[in-house]
């Protein structure tokens, strides 16, 4: 038994966190750490990679995690800087043997772990952010079907639904005797709290509980393309993105719900959407870095888009009301419905001839549910540069307006918000 460091990444919870549970079992002393990576805060487009809504949701999630850890006699150390410098220093200072963490299968995150290993660090990564275990799939990940429908059919044929969640560790090992100094973020980022999306595992569980108690899954299939309010879709995404709740926990509770009230189109469709989330994760195992090329998996070139048109789009001043309303909702709340995400992304790519990577970067900065796999996967899909051979998803804005906002209620709501 020895001292270990637990490095929280996008898994800000104690329950159903196999990596953390394993660290608890293997350590005599355990130091839970979160590193705010201060490198490359700005995108090439000049805005912050992590906008205010994301920072606020993260702040609340970390505070919630700290409270949970303190309740079990532990704590959360937050440090600022480059993870390779910070973790190296922590290992030396605490004489820790290894760093345990969740595995993130995206290029930047993998590169960081590679650098840490090159420095001689012993990093134990655990894959834990999908609903299904990769090893349970009826195919090897490098041979997974490219099309979502084929992927889903094979999963269903194998009768896979979700991997069983594991409980919160009963005992968290004591902190090391020597504790480096940490800090919390300056208060300016704590001033804004989203009225609906409160970060943290406790709020994630409260939200899920009320969603199920109010029987909202039953109507999900009918309501999921609506644009206004909290109830038309599950709103699980922000908590999932930071790992305040595990997708397996959600799937298990949805399964209990089905056992209690019966399965229906709504519950199936929720599971189906969660499977899309898994699909974009698994596609990363298969294609990796190629998903991040300008042409994605195709050889298609990108036309350089003008900075002026990008400013128009991202500030919600294109003159196309539905698109502007969507972009403004995103700016004001950090959230956007799936339907509106598709419409504003398509408009940027096809109507304004924009570079899809700039749009994806803006979403990354703004979305409180920013998730590297889902954002990249969906942008590639709409831009026709991913796995879908049908080549792109242009949306006709006039038709979308007629279908989803015929009386202009949504447009009025967000255009008047400025």
Chain contacts with ligand FAD (rule: CB under 6 A): 224, 233-237, 240-241, 270, 273-274, 276-277, 280, 337-338, 341-342, 345, 363, 367, 369-371, 374-375, 378-379, 382
If the CB atoms of residues 36 and 224 are measured against ligand FAD, the closer one turns out to be 224
Instruction: Give 17 or 374: the residue with its C-beta nearer to ligand FAD.
Output: 374
* Angstrom distance (rounded) from CA 261 to CA 349: 43
**To 10 degrees, what angle do helices 338-346 and 397-404 make?**
160
Q: How far is the CB of 194 from ligand FAD (least distance, A)?
A: 14
Helix (H) or strand (E) holding 32, with range, is: strand 27-37
Nearest residue (CB) to ligand FAD, 190 versus 223: 223
Residue 48 DSSP label: B
The minimum distance between CB 318 and ligand FAD, in angstroms, equals: 16
Min separation Cβ 360 and ligand FAD, Å: 7
Nearest partner of 411 among 343, 353, 324, judged by Cα: 324
Residue 173 vs 266, nearer CB to ligand FAD = 266
Q: How far is 340 from 343, CA to CA, in rounded Å?
A: 5
**Cβ density class 251-277: b for 16+ within 10 Å, e for less:** bbbbbebbeeeeeeebbeebbebbbbb
In the numeric block, the tokens 């660090």 are attached to 121
- Of the chain, the end-to-end C-alpha distance in Å amounts to 58
> What's the min distance (Å) between Cβ of 158 and ligand FAD?
20
Question: Residue 150 corresponds to which tokens in the numbers above?
Answer: 């084929």
We find the least distance from the C-beta atom of residue 412 to ligand FAD, in angstroms, to be 22
Q: Which residue number, 33 or 250, has a Cβ lying nearer to ligand FAD? A: 250
Q: Which contacts qualify for 207-212: CB closer than 8 Å, 24 or more apart?
A: 207/235, 207/236, 207/239, 208/236, 208/245, 208/249, 208/250, 208/253, 211/235, 211/236, 212/253, 212/254, 212/257
Residue 379 beta carbon to ligand FAD: minimum distance, rounded to whole angstroms = 5
Q: Which is nearer to ligand FAD, 7 or 236 (CB)?
A: 236
Coil, strand or helix at 126: strand
Cβ closest to ligand FAD, residue 100 vs residue 236: 236
Smallest separation (angstroms) from ligand FAD to the CB of 244 = 12
Q: For ligand FAD, which is the closer residue by CB, 78 or 102?
A: 102
6 within 8 A of 20, measured Cβ to Cβ: yes
Give the up-direction half-sphere exposure of residue 369: CA atoms within 13 A in the CB hemisphere. 20
Which is closer to ligand FAD, CB of 390 or CB of 416? 390
Least separation in angstroms between residue 94's CB and ligand FAD is 34
Q: Least distance from C-beta 336 to ligand FAD, angstroms?
A: 7
Q: How far apart are CA 28 and CA 223, in angstroms?
A: 50
């Amino acid at each position: 038994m020895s001292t270990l460091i637990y490095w929280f990444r996008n898994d800000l919870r104690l329950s159903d966190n196999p990596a953390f549970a394993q660290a608890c079992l293997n350590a005599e002393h355990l130091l839970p750490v979160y590193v705010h990576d201060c490198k490359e805060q700005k995108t090439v487009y000049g805005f912050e990679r992590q906008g205010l809504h994301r920072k606020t949701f993260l702040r609340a999630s970390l505070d919630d995690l700290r409270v949970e850890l303190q309740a079990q006699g532990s704590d959360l150390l937050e440090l600022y800087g480059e993870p390779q410098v910070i973790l190296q220093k922590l290992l030396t200072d605490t004489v820790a043997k290894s760093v345990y963490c969740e595995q993130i299968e995206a290029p930047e995150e993998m590169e960081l772990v590679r650098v840490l290993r090159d420095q001689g660090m012993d990093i134990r990564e655990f894959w834990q952010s999908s609903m299904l275990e990769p090893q349970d799939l009826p195919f090897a990940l490098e041979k997974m079907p490219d099309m979502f429908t084929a992927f889903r059919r094979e999963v269903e044929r194998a009768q896979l639904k979700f991997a069983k969640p594991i409980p919160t560790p009963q005992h968290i090992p004591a902190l090391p005797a020597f504790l480096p100094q940490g800090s919390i973020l300056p208060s300016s980022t704590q001033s804004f709290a989203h009225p609906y999306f409160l970060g943290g595992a406790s709020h994630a569980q409260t939200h899920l509980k009320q969603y199920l108690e109010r029987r909202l899954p039953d109507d999900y299939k009918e309501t999921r393309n609506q644009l206004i309010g909290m109830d038309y879709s599950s709103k699980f995404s922000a908590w999932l993105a930071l790992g305040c709740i595990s997708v397996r926990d959600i799937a298990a509770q949805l399964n209990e719900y089905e056992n209690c009230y019966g399965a229906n189109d709504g519950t199936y469709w929720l599971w189906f959407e969660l499977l899309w989330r898994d699909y974009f994760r698994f596609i990363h195992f298969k294609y990796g870095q190629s998903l991040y090329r300008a042409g994605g998996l195709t050889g298609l070139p990108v036309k350089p888009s003008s900075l002026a048109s990008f400013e128009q789009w991202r500030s919600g001043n294109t003159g196309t009301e539905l698109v502007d309303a969507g972009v403004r909702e995103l700016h004001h709340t950090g959230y956007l419905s799936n339907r509106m995400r598709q419409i504003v992304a398509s408009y940027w790519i096809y109507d304004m001839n924009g570079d899809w990577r700039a749009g994806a970067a803006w979403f990354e900065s703004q979305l409180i549910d920013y998730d590297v796999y889902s954002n990249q996967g969906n942008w590639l899909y709409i831009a026709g540069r991913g796995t879908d051979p049908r080549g792109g998803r242009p949306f006709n804005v006039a038709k979308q307006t007629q279908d989803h906002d015929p009386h202009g209620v949504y447009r009025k709501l967000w255009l008047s918000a400025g």
